[in-house]
Structure 1
Amino acid sequence: MKKIFILAALLVSLASFAQNPAPGGAQTKTIALMGGTVHIGNGQVIPNGVVLFSNGIITNVVDGTTVRLDLTNVETISVAGKHVYPGIISPASTVGLQEVGAVRATVDKQETGILNPNVRALIAYNTDSEIIPTIRNNGVLFSQAMPQGGTVSGSSSVMMSDGWNWEDAVLKKDDGIWLNWPNYLAREFSLEDFSTVVRKNERRTQAIEALRTTFTEAKAYAALTNPMPMNLKLESMKGLFTGKQNLYVRADYGKDIIEAVTFAKSLAIPNVVIVGGEEANRVVGFLKENNVPVILSALHRLPNREDEDVDLPYRMPGILHKAGILVALSYADEWWRTRNLPFLAGTAAGFGITDKEEALKLVTSNTAKILGIDKLVGTLEKGKHATLFVSAGDALDMRTNVVEHAFVQGRKVNLDDRHKRLYKQYKDKYEQK
């Protein structure tokens, strides 16, 4: 009897912990979002728009004041006074790969070793992560799961924020290989006085030579028609030389950016993307000349050099944008803050990018182009996936972005999350007093 009581108490206690909502069911009926301000994602805005989608695909986006549609057997949702946006895309993310940084068992973002091109972040992606519902509630409906660690970390994949498992959630598999370029300068943090010491990286030359050997072997391997025996490490890099995969290079210093891009070009790798780019403003001409896009890290920080303007990180997207460089925004290592990604674009809109719709591109269409998914998502256009959300206000403003509806490939997403449950729990508690 005592054992039965203990078991019952345990079941009750487990039931008190709410679970993430189940993924949305497949779209069964055509849906029309009526009367909202539609932000296409390419700079165009339709003040009184209608977005029609069926079987997970957008079938029409029109101006409701001039075009009349046959809405027979269509589920209509009035979004008058609200705003409709394409799903926001979070590149260079570890959402789904780590849950609690201090709990090792919940972190699966890297493998041991230095050269791991065959490692796939895809199969480590956890669709049950409690972080995923929180990012959906600010309109972030895609994330690029990236590997970390070593010099060559592995391959990333673009994931949707709704799915039972990684097979359901994946939008694009193995979109690129990640390379940590050996820094010219190494930063070391001192626990004694909490200062950062910057010194020359003495092992840099040796590391670059090892990289050159690996990539040269990979290029030769890629030229073989039917290599036997198969080399899994080199096999995973074949797409770099055909343009099927991007080479994502983490580099911040101007010297490192130039050397990394020159290295890739010498090996005839067509698609190179700089990630981080803290000193990208110092090599703008080089990036433009080589047509290299940049995924910037978090803007809400101080500059790393004492002699730089305090608002330089805020102005960086505008500097690159005005130079004609394709630029996107990310939170990189700060996975827990990914939900705030749209507000980085809002910051950029106040510091150099004067047009809010151009700022929106930094987290939608620009990112889609860089990741090679722009034919599927990134804008609200006919034929693209119906992955979009409705906000009560400006999605780039944290004061007004209140997501009321979200759809992933036409599936209506439940917008419950742990933040909302905790808010309600303690709101109810203290309102009773």
Structure 2
Amino acid sequence: MLLIKNGNVMDVDEKKCLNMDILIENGKIVKFEKNILPTENMCVIDASGKIVAPGLVEAHCHLGLVGDSVGIENEDINERSGAISPELRAIDAIDPMDKVFEEAYQGGITSVGTGPGSGNVLGGQFAAIKTYGKRIDSMIIKAPVAMKCAFGENPKRFYGTTKNKPTTRMAIAAMLREILMRAREYMLKKEHAKENNLELPPIDIQLESLIPVLKKEIPLKAHAHKANDIFTAIRIAKEFDLKLTLDHSTDAAVIVDELAKEKYDMIVGPSLGHRTKVELAKKSFKTAGILNKAGIKISITTDSPVIPLQHLPICAALAVKEGLDKWEALKAITINPAQILGIDNRVGSIQVGKDADIVIWSGDLLDIMSDVEYTIIDGKVVYKKI
């Protein structure tokens, strides 16, 4: 058993810090109360004067699919052979041995949603995983958690430059509609065959992969920067009655009045760095605060490797500087992304029964000078600052 004593514990749900002790057993938080008495079989960490926070959560990145310090050999972020690739699973390519995993958990990020990039209209399945481990199968929190789709510039660039479809936004939307229609027909045929004891239709792995989307078990995870792309994603989600998250949402601040009516969860960023393409013209750290004040649930993303994952707290701090409430920023890198990924029953806050993913900071985690002193994942100290 592991006991963390005397820390200033961040309660992100209640937006306050509490002087509490945390008892961990078998990878779970079993007690969260004042003055837990240590016993001989407990390993004790004295967190006096420290901030004890839930492990940080990133809802949108490509961890383990790009490869640090290598080229094409470890680049598995986009399948370039076909714009419609829903059958792909991130877990079949993620490399936990990549250096970026160590950097992530040493930086306090303990859980991520990771998956394919935005080169394809449908890129494949995202997974929610822990950032510590050797084998992806033992790191999975939930898979799949979403189906990646992309609108706008990236699919056009990937395929339009070779004169293949899609070359326009119209084609992107049409291709997505077509595959969803086919998947819906396939799903209904399967259901009819089962109900009437008939022969099942031939297996189609692409259409099979979209059944969880059609059943609203997982959302479409829509890469959308520009306002028109955001609205197209919403239009298609409504046409097929789908769950949807809006990822990146660069133009969202200028259409916030419309988005406030829709109430879709939004993953904002990456807001650090250059405006490297037309779609990023309105990129700003002000966006997160504007959306939050409109009542929209947000999380903040690094889109790693665009921004190194360990800089997630810096991105949150810069959003605070530009108007986002501090506690809302902390929620945007803990409980909100956990809820958006559908894993908040396990991570995102410090509660009895949840996974013991806890980070002990030397000070305010939104202060660039604060250090991670301990990272604990599933009750195990995976990093200790020397």
Relative to the length of structure 1, the TM-score reads 0.79
| Aligned equivalents of 1:263, 1:286: Cα separation in 2 | 16
CA shift digits 1:273-330 (9 cap, x unpaired): 0111110112223322222111112222356899x999x6111110000000011111
CA shift digits 1:31-54 (9 cap, x unpaired): 111111101222433342211111
Contact 2:8/2:17 (<8 A) preserved: yes
CA shift digits 1:134-170 (9 cap, x unpaired): 1111101112221122211000101101112110111
- Structure 2 counterpart of 1:164: 134
| Aligned equivalents of 2:227, 2:294: Cα separation in 1 | 16
| Structure 2 residue 38 is matched with structure 1 residue 71 | yes
- The within-5 A match list for 1:303-382 is 313-335=284-306, 337-354=308-325, 356-382=326-352
- Structure 2 counterpart of 1:276: 248
Contact 2:152/2:226 (<8 A) preserved: no
Q: 1:399 aligns with which of 364, 369, 376?
A: 369
Contact 1:86/1:364 (<8 A) preserved: yes
Corresponding residue SS for 2:308: helix
| Aligned equivalents of 1:313, 1:242: Cα separation in 2 | 35
Contact 2:120/2:150 (<8 A) preserved: yes
**Which blocks of at least 5 consecutive residues in structure 2 are unaligned?**
159-165, 195-199
| Structure 2 residue 109 is matched with structure 1 residue 140 | yes
| Aligned equivalents of 1:79, 1:255: Cα separation in 2 | 49
| Aligned equivalents of 1:334, 1:379: Cα separation in 2 | 25
Length, aligned pairs only: 367
Corresponding residue SS for 2:84: coil
Corresponding residue SS for 2:303: coil
- The within-5 A match list for 1:12-411 is 30-62=1-33, 64=34, 68-72=35-39, 73-100=41-68, 103-111=71-79, 112-148=81-117, 149-183=119-153, 203-223=168-188, 224-225=190-191, 226=194, 227-269=200-242, 271-301=243-273, 313-335=284-306, 337-354=308-325, 356-400=326-370, 402-411=371-380
- Structure 1 counterpart of 2:163: none
Relative to the length of structure 2, the TM-score reads 0.88
Q: Displacement of 1:407 after TM fit?
A: 1.0
Change in Cα spacing, 1:185 to 1:120, as seen in structure 2 (3 Å) is closer
Contact 1:94/1:335 (<8 A) preserved: no
CA shift digits 1:102-133 (9 cap, x unpaired): 61102111212110000001111111111111
Alignment identity in percent? 24
| Aligned equivalents of 2:148, 2:60: Cα separation in 1 | 10
Change in Cα spacing, 1:336 to 1:327, as seen in structure 2 (3 Å) is closer
Contact 2:151/2:169 (<8 A) preserved: no
- How well do the aligned residues superpose, as a CA RMSD in angstroms? 2.5
Name the amino acid aligned to 1:299. Answer: S
